[in-house]
Amino acid sequence: MVKKVVILGGGTGGALLANKLPRDEFEVTIVDKQEYHHFLPALLYIAFRGYRKPIKRGIKTLLKPWVNFIPSGARAVNLYDRYVELENGKRLNYDYLVIATGATMDYSKVPGLDKVVEQFGNYHSTEENAWKVWNSLNSMGSGTLVIGLTYERYRCPPSPLEGVFLAEEYFRMRGIRDKVRIVYITFYPKPYPAEGINEIVEPLLKERGIEYLTLFMVDHVDPEKRVIYFMEGEEIKYDVFIPIPPHAGADIKYTPEDVLDSDRFVKADKFTNRVQGFDDAFVIGDASALPVAKTGVTAHLQADVVAKLLMGETAANTGRTHCPFDVGYGLGTFVISDFRNPALRFPVGKLPHLFKVAFMASYWDMILYPELWDPIFNAYFSATEPSKLRVFYG
């Protein structure tokens, strides 16, 4: 019998999963509050490079013709009675539910942040906010630029420092690097939280004259005085502040409520992505409360595992990450790790940057044709397994 699968969210994880499920076994419906799927990694390049290529596509155009698409927000999920309630009150029943609603911004967690974003933008939410960052950088002739973490939950662990490195390169290109002080703030003990990568990036920050404040926890911001206040009473004055904003889960009412953590992310099993306590519901990608990196690669690999589980196969997550990390000047490193292996010391070179550019060019195709790209990905991921690369970059 054909099984009804409802997928909430048609972003990276949701769209990919929908396109992987065989039409003869599943009737798949994607529900998304937006008509468009956004390629979020490009926000970095809009913000720091003024990147002009389109970064969104109609969700419908990214789905196999047999996948149903409902353009509507979901406002409630009842995991006991197996239904999703849409904004107009209509209910969709399912045999299997997959939550892929990503992350949203919650500026209210840090007082004053909403005004800062209105003024200078950020590169973790919308295209409009990313353009604001670009305009803010362009209007800077001198002064202090602060970029950094304002809260404990955020997407794409390399992206905060990528912004810092790209900003440094940008000011150098404009010939005003000596007039701009760049400060990175983080609540972690080291600039990059994983030791292997930190050993690569901390010397680079020093070499490029970028200051960093570690173990600094933002309490609130005064947008009028342009001061960031930290929890132990220190403060820093800025001319431009680009915050990595607090991320939270989608605004959906869940029954039972305790499947959500305090930031509205959905609790799940780290190997199977099954929602805590339920066999027929899964959460993939940024929407989960799992302590794994919120990246497209994670969403992608979790979609693979959930597709297999839905098809009755055995599969489990390995916790694999594989993120290109741009450090400016056409160079980069990779964050490569899994549940068993902490991040490697992958040396800085041209390859990760080229990988990122190639990935941006092929992204839409990868979403629409997983059957063509999966063999390539499988071979690539297998060849670059952390346990194998450890020998060289351990």
Partner 1 sequence: MSQSNKLLVDARGLSCPGPITELVKAYRNAKNGDIIEVWATDPGFEPDIKAWISRTGNQLVELRKEQDRIVAVIRVTAKK
Ligand X SMILES: Cc1cc2nc3c(=O)[nH]c(=O)nc-3n(C[C@H](O)[C@H](O)[C@H](O)COP(=O)(O)OP(=O)(O)OC[C@H]3O[C@@H](n4cnc5c(N)ncnc54)[C@H](O)[C@@H]3O)c2cc1C
194 sits near partner 1 (criterion: CB under 8 A): yes
Strand partners, 267: none
Task: Decide whether 78 or 276 has the Cβ nearer to partner 1.
Answer: 276
Sign of CA dihedral 112, 118, 123, 124: positive
366 sits near ligand X (criterion: CB under 6 A): no
List the interface residues with ligand X, window 59-88 (CB under 6 A).
Answer: 73-74
Q: Decide which of partner 1, ligand X, none touches 323; Cβ closer than 5 to 8 Å per partner kind.
A: ligand X
Evaluate whether 182 touches 218 at the Cβ level (below 8 Å).
no
Task: Decide whether 10 or 191 has the Cβ nearer to ligand X.
Answer: 10
DSSP string, 10-28: -SHHHHHHHHHS-TTTEEE
Integer Cα distance of 91 and 255 in angstroms:
14
Integer Cα distance of 152 and 247 in angstroms:
8
Here's the x/- map for ligand X, 124-143, by CB under 6 A: it reads as x-------------------
Least Å distance between CB 126 and partner 1? 25
Total residues in contact with partner 1, by rule CB under 8 A: 18
76 sits near partner 1 (criterion: CB under 8 A): no
* Binder of ligand X out of 116, 250, 266, 367 (CB under 6 A): 250
* Binder of partner 1 out of 85, 95, 202, 219 (CB under 8 A): 219
* Binder of ligand X out of 13, 332, 352, 370 (CB under 6 A): 13
DSSP string, 52-64: -S--EEEGGGGS-
Integer Cα distance of 103 and 266 in angstroms:
11
Which stretch, 50-58, 113-121, 214-222, 362-370, contacts partner 1 (CB under 8 A)?
214-222
Task: Decide whether 21 or 74 has the Cβ nearer to ligand X.
Answer: 74
Q: Decide which of partner 1, ligand X, none touches 43; Cβ closer than 5 to 8 Å per partner kind.
A: ligand X
Evaluate whether 154 touches 245 at the Cβ level (below 8 Å).
yes
Total residues in contact with ligand X, by rule CB under 6 A: 38
Integer Cα distance of 240 and 109 in angstroms:
20
Angle at the Cα of 325 (from 386 to 218), degrees rounded to 5? 110
For the chain, the maximum distance between any two Cα atoms, rounded to a whole number of angstroms, is 68
Evaluate whether 286 touches 294 at the Cβ level (below 8 Å).
yes
325 sits near partner 1 (criterion: CB under 8 A): no
Pairing of strands 26-32, 3-8: parallel
Here's the x/- map for ligand X, 17-56, by CB under 6 A: it reads as --------------xxxx--x--xx-xx------------
Exposure string over 24-59, b if 16+ CB within 10 A, otherwise e:
eebbbbbbbbeebbbbbbbbbbbbbeeeeeebebeb
107 sits near ligand X (criterion: CB under 6 A): no
Single out the residue of 250, 207, 202, 213 nearest to residue 87, CA to CA. Answer: 250
Evaluate whether 171 touches 130 at the Cβ level (below 8 Å).
no
* Binder of partner 1 out of 35, 87, 118, 195 (CB under 8 A): 195
Q: Decide which of partner 1, ligand X, none touches 20; Cβ closer than 5 to 8 Å per partner kind.
A: none
In this structure, what token pair is assigned to residue 46?
A: 């809009």
Q: Decide which of partner 1, ligand X, none touches 299; Cβ closer than 5 to 8 Å per partner kind.
A: ligand X
Q: Decide which of ligand X, partner 1, none touches 294; Cβ closer than 5 to 8 Å per partner kind.
A: ligand X
Q: In a 10 Å sphere around its CB, with 0-12 CB exposed, 13-18 middle and 19+ buried, how is residue 271 labelled?
A: middle
Here's the x/- map for ligand X, 265-304, by CB under 6 A: it reads as --------------------xxx------xxxx-x-----
Q: What are φ and ψ of residue 301, in 5° steps?
A: -70, -35
* Binder of partner 1 out of 232, 257, 375, 382 (CB under 8 A): 232
269 sits near partner 1 (criterion: CB under 8 A): no
Strand partners, 308: none
In this structure, what token pair is assigned to residue 74?
A: 């979901």
Give the count of beta carbons closer than 10 Å to the beta carbon of residue 172: 16
* Binder of partner 1 out of 65, 89, 291, 375 (CB under 8 A): 291
Footprint on this chain of ligand X (rule: CB under 6 A): 8-14, 31-34, 37, 40-41, 43-44, 73-74, 100-102, 123-124, 155-156, 159, 250, 252, 285-287, 294-297, 299, 323-324
Footprint on this chain of partner 1 (rule: CB under 8 A): 152, 187-189, 193-195, 214-215, 217, 219, 231-233, 262, 291, 339, 342
